[in-house]
Structure 1
Amino acid sequence: MGHTLTKQDVVVNTDIEAFPIVWLDSQVNKNHNNLAAQKQLRKLDKNLKTFDDEEECHKYIVSTLADDRIVFIVSGQLGQTIVPKIHQLPQIILICVYCMNAALNEVWARPFDKVKTVAEKFADIITCIESVQQNITLGAATSTNSNINVYTHYCTAIDDPFDNPLSFLECFLRIESNQSDITECIAYCRNKYNQNQHELDLIQEFQQSYTSERAIWWYTRQSFVFRILSDILRKEKTYLIYKFRFLLHDIYQQLKQCQCQSRIQVYRGQLLPDQDITYFKTLIGKIITVKSFFTTWSNRKHARSGLKPSTSNSKQVLFEIDAIPGAANCKPYGDISLHNSFPKPGEVLFMAASNFRIDTVHYGEDHMWIVRMTLVDNDSPNWKDFSQRIDIMEKNVGGLNLASFGTIMRCMGHVSRAKSYCSCLFDQLSLSNPLTAVVCFELAEIALSEGDSDANKSWYRKGTHIKRKYSVHGDLNYESKSKGSTLSRSVDSSFIATLQNSSEDLDSTINEAMASQRFTSVQLDKHQVRFSIEGYEKVPLVSLEEAMVPLLGVLPDIQQMVCIAKMKCELPTDGLTSDQSAAIMLYTMEWEPSETCLYFVLNSALRTADREVVKPWFLYLKLIFTALSRLPSKSGTFFRGVKLNLSSQHPQGETFYWWSFSSCTTTINVLTSDQFLGSSDIRTLFAIESTSGRDISRHSYYQNEKEILLLPATRFQVVGHLPFTSNVHIIQLKEIESEFPLLNPIL
């Protein structure tokens, strides 16, 4: 940590090539000066990674690959212990020590030649980083239009196809673009080329005449399209890639249409620096991702033509690529000769973010280096899991959006990757963008996964504030839709206040006096004849947060309640996981208006018998059914009631089903309290002899209710009636065998 940082101290050059930056300092995320410095560093590397723990930082660095070319900033104190451990790693290209006493720290740093500066002013750190980046950028200039120069991050070495740095493209390509996205892209292009009349004319032409059938034509034309797509893909400018997805999608579809139908060998010639060639030798047998589109030729001689002669620092390189069509999950590639703006026979284009295996690197008889590569598929367990989760999110209510990739990464356990992705998005999005609040809530979930309760609360408050201010998905200040409804309890206000650190937030989301309808619903749906839950057991078992994603369209504010439930279920009983216990608790939680509570919306869906309405609930049903299957069955007489006389609707001997979840209590006293049925007016109490009820009281938000939960499709027979008083009617039910044993598939 160095001296005070002012805006005048640092001027960042954003036109140079970017490298990943890692910063280790015990105060990196606490000190005001360090937080200000982070903003400057993110102009050099939008994915800046910060650590305040040496062990975690070391673990991360050694997990990276040699081509990551990391710039490492470290405090003087921590630098003394970590620099000797990482100095020899090839991915470390520069070390900067940012400290309070440069003279003292220069002593221990002197033996390490990768330590290029020991500085007390952060401006000196920026200058040093830019100097190194500029030198490498100049060296890369000998490889004009190179899409695969290691030092400029045109490609990245990976261990698994899932590690593809542009994996989020799989989500983006499935999200339909709208006119506002295209308009924003045009505006971006005009702003970028506002001093270039030729490009402005082309932009105008593009706006007026572009069609999806001419996507490749525009890409191959010497224009802003090629330059912008290459730049945003190579530099992983996530939000711009998202906005330009209409163009990427159209190119993707055209490549699928002209996909090569037989095995091909294609070539690409270029001039590469000696250090790149040396580095490629270390990648033999490994996989690389070429970030941008990759142009090749079916004619070897054509690929070599036009290559500049080798120099003392750079050599001619010929890439020989084998590709077999039909491989699982391969990015498309095809002969684009008929779609090119300047027809060139035998030109084969590979989709952006294609993966290749480096097979051999050798010096050929024709005095040029030969790098043999093979296009590889994405047939790995991680990728299959990733693809399956995308399918689930896409096909259910809510669908995919800009933040979906972060949610998937977190739910797959790749929390650091999710955090990096969402942090980048937050930096790029404006506060008025509807997705900014979604990203904030996702960052809150990430913080919760990391055990950082302070960050969790901070991101949650920030998302709530943005959501209210910009009216994202409606106002959070709910008013009851039923002014005459009886009121009862709600989520513990002190807990909410602690979570949100704002009593005002509490009043807008949860009312302290509302009536539970879980025990007193009149919607007993005994006449339904269709069953719409079959197949839930086939979906994967996911986290509670992920199970809620398809439901955001019908439960727009459920993420707040999920956060509360997860916090209260950190140490669950009965051998349940935190997600399983929280799934039960979320079912029991109530807020106003009651029509927006999860249990209300879920049971309404189950009663519709409409499979399309129920399908978005499958992930949640799988989770809560799994949780309930872990709890022992409880036999006994349980109670449920309504403020109506239903005795005439249930003749003795009748058998019927309740198709939704049914909340019961073990004591009739609960139902006679004023919070439920009260002790006056007409009431019907069901006395239910059950053998399959689950005691969820230890996982309920309201543990004093002694809640027993009966599953959907529980079958009953009417045993008898008891007119207890003139206003109270008791119907005795006995549970009998159901044709739909819901828990059997997961037991």
Structure 2
Amino acid sequence: MGSSNSHPNSVDAQTESAPGLYRIESASNDSDPPSNQHRIQSPPLKSNFNEMLNNPRSSPVEQNNTTSQRFYRISISTFNLLELVDGYLNEPIVSLEEALEPVGRTIIDLPTYIEEAKTKCHYPSEHGLSRDESAAIYIYTMALKEKTFFDHFQEAWISRSRSTMKPWVKYIRLFRSALDKLPRAEDEVWQGMANDVMLEKILTSKSPFLYSCLSSCSPWNSEVVDYLQKNVSKNLMIVGYKSVNGRSVTGYTADQMDEVIIWPGVKLTPKHYVIVKETSSIIVHLVRQAGKLSCHIFMHFSVY
């Protein structure tokens, strides 16, 4: 987790901001899981997936906006964002109130939302989460008065600033403790957005320094494609992650959606992708690289 001198974008101890973050979005220590009860068994990439992209729908799809904000953005960094919170695992695990007290001034009515999260969260937990751990996941998925909690959290990461991230360290420790107790998502999970030239260039750059950011995924590729085609664009980038140590938070979210969370710092290695000729949509598959948490991306320019 410490910074590496060999990394061209490593954070110097005297440097406040870490360069190299690319976060593109649409307009709109490993432990064995204690239970398989909530493990997501999503289907593999379906044979008709390319057909879905070839034949875009037209009617809008009704879907919770907070879910849209989490699933329909793709976050990739040329810098390991965990270096911004180096040492967070040494923090004690505290209550949700104490964990979020340092960010209280930036979120209106935060104590009210914390109380709601602790009241409505999935507890008792069959996976052994404490009430505070379960509530840490619940509040992550809540819609607040002005924007979602997720948006506040993401803005801190995007800042690339150690000082901006510092108030979040206690929450990050609690959140990580909660996720570590949940089942791994063994099957491929999905994100998507309108296609973006900058992101495409990043993925084809063969840079040895591509990392995941904290992100939420859907276990259903059809859900992602349907929503984006009907509400955002016909020209899409669909990304699948497999074997990146994602954790299933299904049953623990405020909106009761099937969801998998990927931790930042998963190293990504481009492999190949597929272009769907009719809509110029791109399908990208990310997988864990041997030895480190990494990614394998379908990156061979096949045209259907």
Q: Provide TM-score, normalisation by structure 1.
A: 0.29
Query: 1:697 and 2:250 equivalent?
Result: yes
Q: Which residue, 692, 715, 733 being the options, matches 2:267?
A: 715
Match of 2:128 in 1: 575
Distance 1:520 1:718 in 2: 21
Distance 1:563 1:727 in 2: 46
Query: CA 1:676–1:712 in 2, change beyond 3 Å: closer, same or farther?
Result: farther
Deviations, residues 137-172 of structure 1 (Å, cap 9, x unaligned): xxxxxxxxxxxxxxxxxxxxxxxxxxxxxxxxxxxx
Distance 2:267 2:230 in 1: 24
Match of 2:166 in 1: 615
Gap regions ≥5 residues in structure 1: 1-483, 491-512, 741-747
Check whether the contact 1:516–1:590 (CA below 8 A) recurs between aligned residues: no
Query: 1:624 and 2:170 equivalent?
Result: no
Match of 1:730 in 2: 283
Query: CA 1:514–1:710 in 2, change beyond 3 Å: closer, same or farther?
Result: closer
For residues 255-266 of structure 1, the aligned pairs below 5 Å read none
Query: CA 1:543–1:676 in 2, change beyond 3 Å: closer, same or farther?
Result: farther
Deviations, residues 113-143 of structure 1 (Å, cap 9, x unaligned): xxxxxxxxxxxxxxxxxxxxxxxxxxxxxxx
Deviations, residues 615-657 of structure 1 (Å, cap 9, x unaligned): 1001101111111111232322111112123333311755444
Q: Which residue, 623, 640, 649 being the options, matches 2:191?
A: 640
Deviations, residues 544-596 of structure 1 (Å, cap 9, x unaligned): 122111111221222222222111124333111111111011112234543xx
1:665 deviates by 1.3
1:658 deviates by 3.7
Match of 2:10 in 1: none
Query: CA 1:622–1:628 in 2, change beyond 3 Å: closer, same or farther?
Result: same
Distance 1:654 1:643 in 2: 23
Deviations, residues 483-519 of structure 1 (Å, cap 9, x unaligned): x9599756xxxxxxxxxxxxxxxxxxxxxx6662111
1:701 deviates by 1.8
Deviations, residues 300-358 of structure 1 (Å, cap 9, x unaligned): xxxxxxxxxxxxxxxxxxxxxxxxxxxxxxxxxxxxxxxxxxxxxxxxxxxxxxxxxxx
Deviations, residues 247-270 of structure 1 (Å, cap 9, x unaligned): xxxxxxxxxxxxxxxxxxxxxxxx
Check whether the contact 2:192–2:239 (CA below 8 A) recurs between aligned residues: yes
SS in 2 for 1:699: coil
The structure with the larger Rg is 1
Query: 1:516 and 2:65 equivalent?
Result: no
Q: Which residue, 118, 121, 124 being the options, matches 1:566?
A: 118
Distance 1:691 1:660 in 2: 12
SS in 2 for 1:556: coil
Match of 2:99 in 1: 547
Query: CA 1:738–1:560 in 2, change beyond 3 Å: closer, same or farther?
Result: farther
SS in 1 for 2:192: strand
Match of 2:153 in 1: 602
- 1:623 maps to amino acid: L
SS in 2 for 1:633: coil
Check whether the contact 1:652–1:719 (CA below 8 A) recurs between aligned residues: no
1:694 deviates by 0.3
Check whether the contact 1:640–1:686 (CA below 8 A) recurs between aligned residues: yes
SS in 1 for 2:105: coil
Check whether the contact 1:653–1:718 (CA below 8 A) recurs between aligned residues: yes
Distance 2:151 2:169 in 1: 16
SS in 2 for 1:720: strand
For residues 342-741 of structure 1, the aligned pairs below 5 Å read 485=28, 516-522=68-74, 524-528=75-79, 531-569=83-121, 570-591=123-144, 593-594=146-147, 597-645=148-196, 646-651=199-204, 653-674=206-227, 678=231, 680-703=233-256, 705-724=257-276, 725-736=278-289, 737-738=291-292
SS in 2 for 1:626: helix
Answer 1 or 2: which has greater helix percent.
1
Query: CA 1:529–1:618 in 2, change beyond 3 Å: closer, same or farther?
Result: closer
Query: CA 1:609–1:676 in 2, change beyond 3 Å: closer, same or farther?
Result: farther
Query: CA 1:652–1:638 in 2, change beyond 3 Å: closer, same or farther?
Result: farther
- 2:88 maps to amino acid: Y
Check whether the contact 1:641–1:686 (CA below 8 A) recurs between aligned residues: yes
Identity %: 24
Deviations, residues 99-122 of structure 1 (Å, cap 9, x unaligned): xxxxxxxxxxxxxxxxxxxxxxxx
1:729 deviates by 1.0
Query: CA 1:549–1:488 in 2, change beyond 3 Å: closer, same or farther?
Result: farther
Q: What value does the CA root-mean-square deviation take over the aligned residues? A: 2.9
For residues 4-153 of structure 1, the aligned pairs below 5 Å read none
Deviations, residues 697-729 of structure 1 (Å, cap 9, x unaligned): 1211233x3211100111121221111242421
- 1:561 maps to amino acid: Y
Distance 2:260 2:111 in 1: 26
Check whether the contact 1:639–1:685 (CA below 8 A) recurs between aligned residues: yes
Distance 2:138 2:229 in 1: 19
Check whether the contact 1:655–1:717 (CA below 8 A) recurs between aligned residues: yes
- 2:109 maps to amino acid: D
SS in 2 for 1:590: coil
- 2:178 maps to amino acid: A
SS in 2 for 1:540: coil
Distance 2:232 2:115 in 1: 36
Query: CA 1:587–1:618 in 2, change beyond 3 Å: closer, same or farther?
Result: same
Deviations, residues 459-494 of structure 1 (Å, cap 9, x unaligned): xxxxxxxxxxxxxxxxxxxxxxxxx9599756xxxx
Distance 2:98 2:232 in 1: 42
Check whether the contact 2:195–2:281 (CA below 8 A) recurs between aligned residues: no
Check whether the contact 2:190–2:239 (CA below 8 A) recurs between aligned residues: yes
Check whether the contact 1:515–1:676 (CA below 8 A) recurs between aligned residues: no
For residues 299-310 of structure 1, the aligned pairs below 5 Å read none
Gap regions ≥5 residues in structure 2: 1-26, 29-59, 295-304
Match of 1:202 in 2: none
Match of 2:9 in 1: none
Q: Provide TM-score, normalisation by structure 2.
A: 0.67
Check whether the contact 2:77–2:213 (CA below 8 A) recurs between aligned residues: no
Match of 2:39 in 1: none
